Amino acid sequence: MIDALTGAVADACARHTTDPDTPAELNAPLWEALDQIGVLGLGVDEEKGGSGGGLEELVAVLGVLGENAAAVPFAETGLAAWILAEAGVQVPEGRLTVAVSDGLEVATGTDGTVEVSATLPRVPWGEAAEHVVVLSGTTLAVVARDQYQVTSAQNMAGEPRDTLVLAGARPVGGQTWPVPAGLTQAHEQRLSVLRMAQMAGAARRALDLSVHYASERQQFGRSIDRFQSVQHQLASLASEVLVCRTAAKSASLALTRGDATFALAAARVAAAQAAGVVAKLAHQVHGAIGFTEEHTLRLSTTRLWAWRDENGSVHQHASLVGQQALDAGPDSLWDLLVRA
């Protein structure tokens, strides 16, 4: 089933390539194609309005989208739908995104209508989304696009990370909802897995581009992949891509099996380190051309650089892993590493 799914998504990506010159713009034809394949509700149970499938399927599909630097809010929409399903809130149609805020103000007007206000920075695909799901402490609100103002901004890869201003916005349903216990943390962990899946895909593309370039680029009368120094860089590059993939898959498995706080943080750090090496080696193999706007390598490497520190920096995750190792102490350190 996974192979059929990823095959269909890869097909759609090939038919509707993302324009490298405008990576911040929504790839609407691809979004529609994904809708037709039926993957948009992936990861949410069918009885809750989704199209079923688990995290494993989601990770596989996101790997393909990451590989193709697809300009669609697939991860964000899936994440938002999952949050709403978990909270027992009706999932709206269309593109969604999620914002976590510590300062959502909720007010009740004289006529009894509920209004919410907040400034939400760096929201992925905030402009292209049709609804934003706001998680703020114990309060959850769903706000439609026509209820908030957008200031566009981008991350290092040129992906939309917009500032949303909600000033007395009327939430969907005229109400807010309570956030079930643990959902905010669970959302962060799920987001971590989704981003790692995208990183694994982007890393894979950086490798494929490097292998291809090294086979074509001629120097000293032969292709540069005939030089042992370049071969060894390709080997190290492939090895670190496998680290990225292992991090994503193992983290995904850990999350489906229970308390995954340690595994998730360790995976994030490991994936981030590996992504850094992948980007570095891919650029080294490509020489100067990979460092230009005209080459598509940048679509993969800038994503790796951006994603590894989003939603909790590597510093935070490494610090957490270090603290957990110290808390476990000498007698339980090993158990911390292997605990299922």
**Binding positions for other proteins, rule: CB under 8 A:** 204, 207, 211, 214-215, 225, 228, 231-232, 234-239, 241-243, 245-247, 249-250, 252-253, 257, 263, 265-271, 273-274, 315, 317-323, 325-326, 328-330, 333-334, 337-338, 340
Minimum distance, C-beta of residue 328 to other proteins, in the bound complex (Å): 8
* CB-nearer residue toward other proteins: 128 or 281: 281
What are the strands of the beta sheet with 105-108, ordered from one edge?
A: 105-108, 114-124, 161-169, 149-151
CB of 228 to other proteins, least distance (A): 8
Beta carbon of residue 309, minimum distance to other proteins (angstroms, whole number): 13
Least separation in angstroms between residue 302's CB and other proteins is: 23
**Which of residues 207 and 278 has its CB atom nearest to other proteins in the complex?**
207
Cα-flanking dihedrals φ and ψ of residue 44, to 5°? -120, 130
Nearer to other proteins, 148 or 213 (CB): 213
**Which of 15, 257 has the CB closer to other proteins?**
257
How is residue 340 written in tokens? 């299922």
Separation of alpha carbons 287 and 295, rounded Å: 11
3-state secondary structure 83-125: HHHHHCCCCCCCCEEEEECCCCEEEECCCCCEEEEEEEEEEEC
When the beta carbons of 49 and 276 are compared against other proteins, the nearer one is 276
Amino acid in position 84: L
Cβ atoms 150, 100 nearer than 8 A: no
Residue pair 244/276 in contact (Cβ under 8 Å)? The answer is: no
In whole angstroms, give the CA distance from residue 293 to residue 299.
Answer: 9
A 10 A CB-CB count for 132 gives 26
Nearer to other proteins, 150 or 318 (CB): 318
Shortest distance, position 130 Cβ to other proteins, whole Å: 34
Smallest distance, Å, CB 24 to other proteins?
30
